[in-house]
Amino acid sequence: MAKYTREDILHMAEEEDVEFIRLQFTDMFGTMKNIAIPFGKLEKAMDNECVIDASSMESFYRNEEEDMYLHPDLDTFCILPWRPQQGKVARFICDIYKADGTPYKESPRYILQNAVKKAEEKGYTFKVNPECEFFLFHTDDNGSPTTLTHERAGFLDLSPVDLGENARRDIVLTLEDMGYEVASSHHEIAPGQHEIDFTMSDVMDTADKLMTFKVAVRTVAKRHGLHATFMPKPRSEVNGSGMHINMALYKDGKNIFEDPQDSLGLSKEAYSFIAGLLEHIKGMTAVFNPLVNSYKRLVPGFEAPSDVTWSSTQRTALIKVCQGMREEKAIELRSPDPSANPYLVFALCLEAGIDGIEQGLEAPAELKRSIRDLSEEEKNNQGIEALPENLSDALYEMGRDVWVKEMLGESFLEHYKKGKRKEWKSYMKQVSEWELEQYLYQI
C-alpha cells in the first residue's frame, strides 16, 4: 500500500510552507545528484515531466544525447529538517526514465528494484541493516577539510573524551526527525571515528535512507565546524571505515536462515547463501570497494577482512555469522565500505545469495582460528583465497565473473569498468610522499 498520495503531498507541502523540492537520484558511482524546483512546479514533477541532461554527467553514457525524465517515488517525500524552517525544502528520490517511457536500466536504483522483483517472484523478501562508519575531522582556516582531530577517544568511549558526541547526537536526532529508525550510535576504534546503525529493514527502503544518511551526516557535521568523510582509509595508522551489512532472507514471513537444530543455528539455505556470496565476492569487490583508497583498508592488522573466509568467532573474517541474543538470525558481510553505492551492493548481495541457494552450493569450512595464525601452506590447503589487493585487480576479477556481468548488465559493467580504469590510471601517474621519502635520498 502506498505511503502517500499526490493529494497528501500537495497538502503537506502547502501546510508546511515548502518552497523548494529537490528531485534526487544516485549515479553509477554512488554520488547523489539533484535538481531543485519551486513549489509551483510540484505537480509537474509528480507528473514525471522534469528533465535532466544525462549527457553532461560522467556516470551516464556520453553518446546518449536524449533527455532523461525523473519519476519521483512519492513514498520518499520528506521535508529536510536541516533546511530553513520558513520556506522549507523537501525532497523526492527519483527513478530515471528514457524519453520513450522505459526505465533507464543502468540506473543503480533500477538494478536494485529489478533484483528485489526477481526475489519476490521466487517468494523471497530481503532485509538489511548496514553499520556505517565515518570520520569527523577539523577544517582549516579556509573551511577546507583536514585529517586532524583533537580527540583520542576509542571504541565506545563517551564525553568528555569523545569530542564528537554532540555532533553524532544531532545527526541521530535529525535522522529521527525524518522518520528513520536508528538502532544505536557510538564512537568507533579510531580517534574521530563514529558509527550509526539502522534497524533491520526492507532493502529498498534502507538503500534510499543510506543515501540521504550520508547527506545528513555531512550537513550536520558542518554545522558543528567539522568535516564528515566516508572515505574508507583517510589515515594510514588507524582503522578504516567499513559499511558492514547484516542481512536476512525471508520466505512466507519466516527468516529462512534459522535452524535451531544446527550448531550455529543456521539453515541449509543460510550456508548456501554464504557460499553464493563467497563464490562471487572477488567479482563483486570492485563494487563493494570502489575507490583506489578502499584497498588501503583491506589489509591485515586493522580488523578489516583481506581473505575470503567465513566464521562465527573471528572478527576479521569476510562473513561473520551473528550469534548471541539477536532477535533475528543474520549474516554479516564485512568487506564493503561506505564509499560504495548501496543500491548496487545490496542488489549483488541478494542475487549472489539466492544464486547460492538455487545452485545448492555448500559453504567451505568455517575459519576457527585467526587468519594471522595460519601459514600460507595452511591457507592453500584450506583453499583460502585473498581478496583483490587493489582496484585494478578487482576490476580484472569483475571482468572474469560472467555472473556479475549478467546481474549488472553488460553495458553497465563496461561503463563502470571504464570509469574506474580511468581512476586507476590517474592514480598510477601520481608520485606519493611515501615514494619520495623512500627513494629520493637513497637512489
43/58: higher pLDDT: 43
Comparing C-alpha atoms, which of 98, 71, 65, 78 is closest to residue 18?
78
Using pLDDT thresholds of 50, 70 and 90, give the confidence band for residue 65: low
Is the pLDDT confidence value at 60 over 70? no
pLDDT of residue 58: 63
Per cent of the chain over pLDDT 90 is 78
Specify the pLDDT at position 160. Answer: 83
pLDDT score of 272 more than 90: yes
* Binding annotation for L-glutamate: 239-240, 297, 303, 315, 334
Mean pLDDT of 8-16: 93
pLDDT tens digits, 108-147:
999 999 999 999 999 999 999 999 999 999 999 888 999 9
Given a cut of 70, whether residue 344 has pLDDT beyond it is yes
* Residue set of the binding site for Mg(2+): 131, 133, 188, 195, 244, 332
Q: Which residues pair with 70 in a beta bridge?
A: 50, 96
pLDDT by residue (tens digit) across 199-245? 999 999 999 999 999 999 999 999 999 999 999 999 999 999 999 99
Higher-pLDDT residue of 370, 292: 292
Residue 56: pLDDT band with limits 50, 70, 90: low
Distance from C-alpha of 177 to C-alpha of 354, rounded to nearest angstrom = 35
Q: What is the mean pLDDT of residues 145-155?
A: 90
**What does each C-alpha distance from 425 to 60, 178, 402, 419, 433 come to in angstroms?**
20, 41, 24, 10, 18
Taking a C-beta distance cutoff of 8 angstroms, is the pair 341, 207 a contact? no
Residue 61: what pLDDT? 54
Predicted confidence band at 381 (pLDDT cuts at 50, 70, 90)?
A: confident
The stretch 33-62 carries a mean pLDDT of 84
CB atoms within 10 A of CB 292: 18
- Please, which pLDDT band fits residue 326 given cuts at 50, 70 and 90? low
Annotated binding residues for ATP: 315
Burial environment of residue 33 by CB neighbours within 10 A (0 to 12, 13 to 18, 19 or more): middle
Name the binding residues. Answer: 131, 133, 188, 195, 239-240, 244, 297, 303, 315, 332, 334
Question: What are the backbone dihedrals phi and psi of residue 189, each rounded to the nearest 5 degrees, phi first?
Answer: -70, -45
Q: For residue range 302-325, list pLDDT tens digits in order.
A: 889 999 999 998 888 999 998 665
Residue 380 pLDDT class (50, 70, 90 cuts): confident
Strand ranges, E, within 203-313:
226-229, 243-251, 254-255, 310-311
Read off the pLDDT band of 59 (50, 70, 90).
Answer: low
| pLDDT score recorded for residue 57 | 66
